[in-house]
Amino acid sequence: MLNIETPAVIIDMEQVERNLRRYQQCADLHGCALRPHTKTHKIVRLAKMQMEFGAKGVCCAKLSEAEVMAAGGIDDIFVAYPVIGREKIERFLALSRQIRIICGVDSIEGASALSDAAAAHGQRAEVRIELDTGYARAGVQRDEILEFAKRVSEMPGLDLGGIFTFKSATLAGKPTLDLRAAAEEEGRLLSETAELLRSNGIPIRDVSGGSTPTGELVAAYPGITEIRPGTYIFQDVSELRQGVAEPEECCAVVKVTVVSTPTPYRAVIDGGSKVFAADKKPMTPPVNLPGFGRIIGHDELIFDHMNEEHGVIVRNDAPTGLKVGDVLYIVPNHVCTTMNLFDFVYLREKDGSYTRTRVDGRGRVW
């Protein structure tokens, strides 16, 4: 076996295939399009694999990610984010002359600037309106969306194709473990809004929602035409604790080495916040994770805290049993931000060989 120096991310491609198949089959069953969010893997090869498995296109968070995916050959991309500022608008319009690219709009300022620039090029930019369904991040408020959609639909440089939301596992604006109720609320709010707009003469074709925890349930809701899960390709501890993934489905693991055992009760690994990210803190509702990751084969150990290069492993009132040089494999709490910290990762191919692969879209936030 290839000797992979730690810390490193290793991805099991056989399980990746199973994970892709699971969500694709569910989407197909309900006649719903699957548009995977590439933010989880950021790798062109994996995006192409998702397309081969039946995805209708991909989703990106930022324009710079879309540029990487487009350069790699993906020809249908939804940037689920507002495109704001003259340079970004020009970059978006340049891409839209080459491939189908869609972006989100949720402000009149943003929509009209995009419309004006598109019209000046003799183009029409395909947009979807973002609806705030309770996550309280971006998105038009429900009581303002009809008026907003009317104005957008009249802008000469825009082609209003649909609506979308990001709601994750929330219910009435609060994190929840009741995924069925969360998905029902999401499906209802999206489809009601689509109907409201249609009944006012605004043709809404694409109705897009669903993330990894709720995607399979949202796909089943009447009127939903597309789901956009991201994490499903690798799964992680967050999804595990939400009951969406099984341990064996978590197929992107971090290989680390124990570098210090200052006392029998504490071991230090060579991965900290520069490896695991720190955005999913332990004990955050509703998941209440006990640590920064799941140490495979060591349910007795807790990944307690981190600095940049140090991860501290403890065990409740007992020696850890770890010694310097021990190798551990850890499933991160949040695999998307972990992937964003690595320039390259290792794919374990189905034949047992390893491929060192660039994380093509890493760090592309602009």
Q: Candidates 10, 84, 119, 196: give the one binding its own copies (CB under 8 A).
A: 84
DSSP 205-271: -EEEE--TTTHHHHHTSTT--EE---GGGT--HHHHHTTS--GGG--EEEEEEEEEEEETTEEEES-
CA distance 289 to 44: 31
Q: Residues in the chain, how many?
A: 366
C-alpha triplet 310, 316, 319: angle, nearest 5°: 75
CA distance 100 to 51: 14
Q: Candidates 310, 329, 354, 355: give the one binding its own copies (CB under 8 A).
A: 310
Residue 137 binds its own copies (CB under 8 A): yes
CA distances from 128 to 145, 173, 332, 364 (A): 12, 22, 33, 22
CA distance 349 to 57: 24
Site stretch for its own copies (CB under 8 A), options 67-75, 130-138, 182-190, 216-224:
130-138
Cis ω on the peptide bond leading into residue 286 (within 30° of 0)?
yes
CA distance 347 to 293: 20
Q: Closest CB to its own copies among 51 and 275?
A: 275
Residue 233 binds its own copies (CB under 8 A): no
Least Cβ distance, residue 79 to its own copies (angstroms): 10
Q: Candidates 121, 274, 286, 357: give the one binding its own copies (CB under 8 A).
A: 274
Strand bridging mode 125-130 / 158-164: parallel
Q: Candidates 51, 149, 312, 345: give the one binding its own copies (CB under 8 A).
A: 312
Residue 303 binds its own copies (CB under 8 A): no
Residue 121 binds its own copies (CB under 8 A): no
Given the structure tokens 């990610």, which residue do they identify?
Answer: 65
CA distances from 187 to 6, 144, 168, 215, 221 (A): 43, 19, 12, 10, 6
Residue 81 binds its own copies (CB under 8 A): yes
The amino acid occupying position 115 is: S
Q: Closest CB to its own copies among 308 and 351?
A: 308
Q: Closest CB to its own copies among 296 and 324?
A: 324
Q: Candidates 2, 71, 296, 324: give the one binding its own copies (CB under 8 A).
A: 324
Least Cβ distance, residue 55 to its own copies (angstroms): 21
Residue 318 binds its own copies (CB under 8 A): no
Q: Candidates 181, 184, 309, 354: give the one binding its own copies (CB under 8 A).
A: 309
| Residues at the interface with its own copies (CB under 8 A) | 3, 5-8, 39, 61-62, 81-82, 84-85, 87-88, 106-107, 109-110, 113, 132, 136-141, 257-263, 266, 268, 270-271, 273-275, 277-279, 281, 306-310, 312, 323-325, 336-337, 340-343, 362-363, 365-366
